Amino acid sequence: MIIMRIRHICSGSRFIALVALFFLFIPFSKSFAGTKTPPDQNPSVIITPDKQFNYAESLFSNNDYSTAVMEFKRFIYFFPEDQRVERAMYQTGMSYYLGGDFKTAVDSFQKLIDEYVDTDDAIKSYFKISDAYMKLNALDPAIINLNNLIVVAHNEDVRDEAYYRLGWIYLETASWEEGRRYFSKISVKNKDKYRLETLSAELEKEKLIPKKNPKLAGFLSVIPGAGYFYCERYQDALIAFLINGALIYAAYESFDGGNPALGGLLTFVEVGFYAGNIYGAVTGAHKYNRKKTGLFLERLKDNVKINLSADVKNKGVCLSFQFGF
């Protein structure tokens, strides 16, 4: 009983001590809170042209192209008098280009060209437009664009680069003579820079590309499978010969056995396969030529094509080539 009372007194005094401590700390906590500076009710950050442009550039260099586009556009909108607006427009186009949106990149570069004439970035924009068209596999607009550049450019180095690029576009379509014609227009002083001597020597080998004549392939297909055989498709040739032979024989037997309905049906099917055999042989010849030409072009590019940086300020080309043995 006495022990219980003592415990009760002890717990009561502990409770009073805790309450006392609580009240003791209230003023301290308030005083600490009061020492804090009041938050600024109207925070403001001043964005200078430098800050905005550098931010956009940092996004661009970090490959965040979609955000970089927004920030470059913001820069152009808020600081239209800044000297770097043209650069920002070019970088906008580059962001679209590197982000894979080639169509919008073309529009963006075109906008720059419309506003700025014959500046470094405008000339680079011409080159990038043709690159974007090439990525879109639209060769004709790429050619037209480079021809426009040749007309407006005053700098001989720029014109030479345009001729060089045009030559390669024509080579891509296996238009060898057109390609040679544009390479020949490059000025004498830049002939070494573009390695034209080596290029023309390598181009001469174009005549050695093995080719199949599609007309001959089609003609040979009069004998089923012979056209495929000519195109070095030996298994296809055998199958075409067997299917067509079997169908012709079956149709003959049907007519001969007094079953013209079946014979007519088989003839009808055979006509499709016979025509397919001719069509396939002609296509096979075209495919063969395309493949061999593609291989030749790949080798030519690896051996003699110079990668152009489109950096006019640094005199146009960045020499980068290799030669395979």
Binding site for another protein (CB under 8 A): 214, 228, 233-236, 239-240, 243, 265, 268-269, 272-273, 275-277, 279-280, 282-283, 286-287, 290-291
Output the smallest distance, CB 243 to another protein, in A.
6
- SS3 for the chain, per residue? CHHHHHHHHHHHHHHHHHHHHHHHHHHHHHHHHHHCCCCCCCCCCCCCHHHHHHHHHHHHHCCCHHHHHHHHHHHHHHCCCCCCHHHHHHHHHHHHHHCCCHHHHHHHHHHHHHHCCCCHHHHHHHHHHHHHHHHCCCHHHHHHHHHHHHHHCCCHHHHHHHHHHHHHHHHHCCCHHHHHHHHHCCCHHHCCCCCHHHHHHHHHHHHHCCCCCHHHHHHHCCCCCHHHHHCCCHHHHHHHHHHHHHHHHHHHHHHHCCCHHHHHHHHHHHHHHHHHHHHHHHHHHHHHHHHHHHHHHHHHHHHHCCCCCCECCCCECCCCCCCCC
Output the smallest distance, CB 194 to another protein, in A.
31
Residue with smaller CB distance to another protein, 93 or 225 = 225
Output the smallest distance, CB 182 to another protein, in A.
24
Residue with smaller CB distance to another protein, 92 or 277 = 277
Residue with smaller CB distance to another protein, 51 or 290 = 290
Output the smallest distance, CB 293 to another protein, in A.
13
Closest residue by Cα to residue 84 from 125, 129, 121: 121
Residue with smaller CB distance to another protein, 146 or 217 = 217
Residue with smaller CB distance to another protein, 167 or 225 = 225
Residue with smaller CB distance to another protein, 283 or 309 = 283
| Residue 235: both structure tokens together | 């298994």
Output the smallest distance, CB 206 to another protein, in A.
19
Output the smallest distance, CB 216 to another protein, in A.
15
Residue with smaller CB distance to another protein, 200 or 283 = 283
Closest residue by Cα to residue 174 from 300, 325, 283, 322: 300
| Residue 310: both structure tokens together | 């489109």
Output the smallest distance, CB 169 to another protein, in A.
18
Output the smallest distance, CB 88 to another protein, in A.
40
Residue with smaller CB distance to another protein, 194 or 228 = 228
